[in-house]
Structure 1
Amino acid sequence: MPSFDAVVIGAGVNGLACAGRLSKAGLKVQLVDQAAQVGGAMATREFAPGYRVSAVAHLVNALDARVESGLDLARHGLKWSARDLATTALGENGDHLVLCGAFGERLDGSISAADRAAWTELRVRLLRFAAVLAPFKAMSPPRLAANAGNDLIALAKIALKLRLLGRDDMREFLRLLLINVADVVEDEFADDRLKGLIAFDATLGAHLGPRSPNTLILLLNRLASQAAGTVAGLALPKGGMGAVAAAMANAVAELGVDVRANAPVRRVLVEGDRAVGVELQCGEIIRARHVVSAANPKTTFLDLVGRPQLDTGFVRRTRSIRMRGGAAKFHLALSGAPDFRGADLTSRLVIAPSVNAVENAFNAVKYNRFSEKPVMEIIVPSAFEDGLAPAGHHVLSAIVQFAPREVEGGWNDRRGAFGERIMATLEAHAPGISGLIVAAQMLSPEDIERDYSMIGGDWHHGELAVEQMLFLRPAVGAAGYATPVPGLWLAGAGSHPGGGVSGAAGWNAAERLIGSEGAQ
């Protein structure tokens, strides 16, 4: 007899969300993870004595409302240091542009009246179109087969919502799905800071530049999310991203999920062509009626299940999933507050001076080189709360683009050179910051792959691109959370709707599994 109804592999945001939802439906669940602490990349870590930062992800912009409310994360300790976080597009001479509220409800700074009006109109239009995409995030990718009745009904409802936009808006929506973000912002604005910021946001975490096709849909996908109850908002959890993991871990434990850390999985047990449990590296066997993997789909199928259990065509499609991360993480321990030429440190700071700056930064990775003039998103978490650094000191966290997984010359030899380019960029915007450094840390895509099991350093476990979205994600044959192996389910970032601190993929997968059982 199986010991559990379901065993979930991977205790990151999606594994926790999935385990919690399954337990709420009455299933007996065990959650296993190879790390000593649950949360995956959703962690707060000390990188120098007395200095702590969010290890990889450092802001929340997509935490699924079903996860936040369904697991009652507030009751389990989740608090916010900031909601509706403003974004400051840094100008080298201190001429900053501030987008206040969710996706720039208000613009502060010197900007022409024409650009201000154009921004107001474009913002409303993009949010309206993003609202059409939002329902897709909370549903299994619709199957197009003739017997997929419920899926086709759901798809029809969304098609009706699209039709209600009106003929002109519907045409514009369909046009924007295929266009690149550079063309949109260059048609709309003259201000380089605003254009660079929107280009940066559309390509953050992607292996694409702003002139790459279909990048506008990535921006709409981002705007279709919510954070701390605000659509298209940004929020900073008190205590860093590890606080989100802790609240989720507390919630699932209360629901009765058996959580085991330091429990790496060697293989998925397949008997009679069906997944029946897992074997841990230590040799322990855990039997379950369902196996749910929140791990990378390549890891799941090629390593844990194994090629002999899979159709050769499916193996080929799995191997072909593109996973090219393009971002590095950079941390500074500082003896004082950095001065970004008067910018508010309690805002999200972005260095992306123009569309061309973002495009040029991306161009380097196409040739396995890092950007000579990187663009980046910066947070100074110690400006929001005490306890992350010694009194009077600060920590800086930056997501830096672009950096390839395989850099020319190897990361061991080139790490210092990229760090110098990052510091040169920071120094240009915050003169004197180099003199404040107590310690520094850089995580290359190679480091992120090794430390957090993200192949290629890709936090989506499969690039977000039109050919790897919805019913094509992660691959044909495993796009609806069910897999070619009966009893095995996918619930990670590699499945729809993708990565980030969301939990949507895990919650959706649980709903699909529960539906297969007729449970509630």
Structure 2
Amino acid sequence: MTSFDASKWEVLVIGGGHNGLVAAATLAKSGRKVLVLEAAGEIGGAARTEEFAPGFRVSTAHLLNRLHPEVVKTLELERHGLVFSGITPTPAASPQGEGESGVGSVHRETSTALEEAAPISRSPLWGGGIRFAPSVALSRDGEPLTLHGGYGESLFGASASEQAAWQELRAQLLRYAGILKPLLTRRPPDLGNMSLMESSAFAMTGLSLRRLGKEDMRDFLRMLLMNVSDVADEHLEDDRLKGLLAFDATLGSHLGPRSPTSLLGLYFRLAGEIGGQAGAQALPVGGMGAVMASMLRAAQAAGVTIRTDASVAKILVEKDRAAGVALDGGEEIRARTIVSAINPQNTFLDLVGTREIDTGFVRRIKNIRMKGDAAKLHLALDRPPEFSGLDAAGHRGRLVIAPSSDHVERAFNPAKYGEFSPEPVMEITLPSLSDPALAPSGTCVLSAVVQYAPYALKEGWEAGRKRFLAAIMAQLELYAPGVGRLVRHAELLTPADLEARYRMPGGHWHHGELQADQMLMSRPAFGAAGYDTPVAGLFLCGAGSHPGGGVSGVPGLNAARRILEMRG
């Protein structure tokens, strides 16, 4: 058994996904000596851009809608090469300190793959170069309905009265999401032991609520735990728009639009932003792997060392505090601070072990609901498909098949019993239209997130995969006639596949259901809600932490700031 010099590293980060990189870079910029340990052959997790068929590349996470401005600012991601559709990348020098070993190093094969995925550019990220992807509610019988700008700043394809009703509801939803936004971007308050800063932030939230006025405040409290379907029915008439809202509120969750509290999912979306636009989504050049590439460069420039193919087998606990880690091969690496960017169940049940934590906490961690309900489909197509009613610009948007709120609810019903709907709902992008480098000339990549695909399928995914793929293709054929004849290769990732590929228990991209009882002070569980944990020296910074999943970087940034606050 070998061991690294205990004095070499101050911080070990387990997991090289986006939150792990954000935490590592932030801590390294403060002068800490940081080592990131990634089990896979390259960093990025579900956000890396991967080849799924010869010449065809795509990211499992295919849209960016939550990358927080503070993360962009802290890591200087603009300087490190993040660009969006509509910006032409130009070469620039690699960050200083890049090498094959020591601080500031990364394995050569990881660096090369990411450099190819996202050429460095010095173009300004927030300076007007972002191309927002419009949300298009597809229709079989008529014209599609399209939301442009920051989640429906303008609405096309609906009646004048529906447009007016939407603008009124949108303004209301944005006001209410704005009340919750500070709670979703800061460390959750410790109600029993709040610091002065936390007390001040909590007070500001209350003040913002009071400023709404009596009628708005009453409506905010009334709507807070409502379902999205009832809210949409109160304000809107167009089934296409109501179906889109229902889909967006429940995407990635084991909820239907008529489930209590489902409106919270829409608030969560609207609390995120891109380029200052609430709820907007954008397509990075090079896919989501380009975001990871810019974060990698930021970490390198800050002096972070990254080791890939370094699977952690155990977190070493000595005298009731974390003291280091042991890798699968037996190598021990010691540090005073351990930061876990992986799933909380893996962290505590597998790496720490139940003997090191009390039974009550073990029970709470075991009871986190994290069985995924979404699958991912990748299609390599001979040419771009043609969706009915869409022009060329429309095909570059985010296309949603969710004809009505009732249709989304009916699609959810079988998932309650371990089955999938014969008419699944889905979100589709054609990323190679905006970034031709993702597919051979003249061909096309189709990427779709498909609800509802229960993790524990009653018939088992070995038997059910072909039937589910057939159901998905049948739905696509209704909206893009002839698409089936264009398919060169199809890759369907069920929640079980996502679990295996990305070491993500349950195949849930939030690392735990994002519902009212698993948010804020209850995320991931009481006793580990503020990034620090019952094990001294061990911190969490993954999607299972507050505020949840999506490529925001907020858990990583908040965890790093918490460590700096505690360590000084």
Report the TM range for the smaller structure's normalisation: over 0.9
For residues 130 and 152 of structure 1, the distance between their equivalents in structure 2, rounded to whole angstroms, comes to 20
Counterpart of 1:76 in structure 2: which amino acid? Answer: H
In the alignment, which of 418, 421, 424 is matched to residue 374 of structure 1? 424
Match of 1:8 in 2: 13
For residues 191 and 50 of structure 1, the distance between their equivalents in structure 2, rounded to whole angstroms, comes to 41
Alignment of 1:271 with 2:318, yes or no, is: yes
Counterpart of 1:92 in structure 2: which amino acid? Answer: R
Cα-to-partner distance string for 1:252-302 (whole Å, 9 max, x where unaligned): 011000111110000000000000111111111111110010110000000
Q: What SS class does the counterpart of residue 102 from structure 1 fall into? A: coil
Counterpart of 2:143 in structure 1: which amino acid? Answer: D
For residues 156 and 389 of structure 1, the distance between their equivalents in structure 2, rounded to whole angstroms, comes to 51
Where do residues 15-414 of structure 1 align in structure 2 (5 Å cutoff)?
Answer: 15-54=20-59, 56-81=60-85, 83-109=131-157, 111-146=158-193, 148-343=195-390, 344-414=394-464
Match of 1:435 in 2: 485
Shift of residue 187 of structure 1? 1.3
Contact 2:426 2:449 in 1 (8 A): yes
Cα-to-partner distance string for 1:459-486 (whole Å, 9 max, x where unaligned): 1111101100000110000011010000
Counterpart of 2:311 in structure 1: which amino acid? Answer: P
For residues 275 and 385 of structure 1, the distance between their equivalents in structure 2, rounded to whole angstroms, comes to 44
Shift of residue 342 of structure 1? 3.2
Cα-to-partner distance string for 1:352-401 (whole Å, 9 max, x where unaligned): 00001111111111110112100000000111121211111101000000
Counterpart of 2:155 in structure 1: which amino acid? Answer: L
For residues 454 and 471 of structure 2, the distance between their equivalents in structure 1, rounded to whole angstroms, comes to 15
For residues 197 and 167 of structure 1, the distance between their equivalents in structure 2, rounded to whole angstroms, comes to 30
For residues 187 and 489 of structure 2, the distance between their equivalents in structure 1, rounded to whole angstroms, comes to 45
In the alignment, which of 458, 470, 480 is matched to residue 508 of structure 2? 458
Q: What SS class does the counterpart of residue 469 from structure 2 fall into? A: helix
Counterpart of 1:18 in structure 2: which amino acid? Answer: A
Contact 1:84 1:230 in 2 (8 A): no
Q: 1:69 to 1:149 in 2, by over 3 A?
A: closer
Shift of residue 184 of structure 1? 0.5
Q: What SS class does the counterpart of residue 178 from structure 1 fall into? A: coil
For residues 154 and 99 of structure 1, the distance between their equivalents in structure 2, rounded to whole angstroms, comes to 33
Shift of residue 147 of structure 1? 5.7
Counterpart of 1:105 in structure 2: which amino acid? Answer: E
Where structure 2 has 5 or more consecutive residues not aligned to the other structure, the ranges are 1-5, 86-129
Contact 2:529 2:545 in 1 (8 A): yes
Q: What SS class does the counterpart of residue 364 from structure 1 fall into? A: helix
For residues 171 and 83 of structure 1, the distance between their equivalents in structure 2, rounded to whole angstroms, comes to 37
Counterpart of 1:97 in structure 2: which amino acid? Answer: L
For residues 32 and 233 of structure 1, the distance between their equivalents in structure 2, rounded to whole angstroms, comes to 32
Contact 1:63 1:228 in 2 (8 A): no
- C-alpha RMSD of the superposition: 1.1
Counterpart of 2:166 in structure 1: which amino acid? Answer: W
For residues 342 and 215 of structure 1, the distance between their equivalents in structure 2, rounded to whole angstroms, comes to 30
In the alignment, which of 523, 547, 565 is matched to residue 473 of structure 1? 523
Q: How many residues in Structure 1 have an aligned counterpart in Structure 2?
A: 516
Shift of residue 165 of structure 1? 1.1
Q: What SS class does the counterpart of residue 10 from structure 2 fall into? A: strand
Contact 1:185 1:195 in 2 (8 A): yes
Q: What SS class does the counterpart of residue 315 from structure 2 fall into? A: strand
Contact 2:311 2:327 in 1 (8 A): yes
Where structure 1 has 5 or more consecutive residues not aligned to the other structure, the ranges are none
Normalising by structure 2, we get a TM-score of 0.89
Counterpart of 2:371 in structure 1: which amino acid? Answer: R
Alignment of 1:415 with 2:465, yes or no, is: yes
Match of 1:500 in 2: 550
For residues 77 and 94 of structure 1, the distance between their equivalents in structure 2, rounded to whole angstroms, comes to 41
For residues 71 and 476 of structure 1, the distance between their equivalents in structure 2, rounded to whole angstroms, comes to 30
Shift of residue 113 of structure 1? 2.5
Identity of matched residues, %? 53
Q: What SS class does the counterpart of residue 436 from structure 2 fall into? A: coil
Contact 1:2 1:289 in 2 (8 A): no
Q: 1:425 to 1:180 in 2, by over 3 A?
A: same
Cα-to-partner distance string for 1:413-453 (whole Å, 9 max, x where unaligned): 11000000000000000001111111111000000011011
Shift of residue 112 of structure 1? 2.4
For residues 212 and 235 of structure 2, the distance between their equivalents in structure 1, rounded to whole angstroms, comes to 21
Contact 2:132 2:283 in 1 (8 A): no
For residues 294 and 23 of structure 1, the distance between their equivalents in structure 2, rounded to whole angstroms, comes to 16
Shift of residue 148 of structure 1? 4.1
Q: What SS class does the counterpart of residue 169 from structure 1 fall into? A: helix
Shift of residue 2 of structure 1? 3.5
For residues 58 and 349 of structure 1, the distance between their equivalents in structure 2, rounded to whole angstroms, comes to 12
Normalising by structure 1, we get a TM-score of 0.98
For residues 69 and 395 of structure 2, the distance between their equivalents in structure 1, rounded to whole angstroms, comes to 28
For residues 275 and 291 of structure 2, the distance between their equivalents in structure 1, rounded to whole angstroms, comes to 12
Contact 2:184 2:520 in 1 (8 A): no
Contact 2:271 2:279 in 1 (8 A): yes
Counterpart of 2:420 in structure 1: which amino acid? Answer: F
For residues 401 and 425 of structure 1, the distance between their equivalents in structure 2, rounded to whole angstroms, comes to 12
For residues 483 and 89 of structure 1, the distance between their equivalents in structure 2, rounded to whole angstroms, comes to 43
Contact 2:149 2:277 in 1 (8 A): no
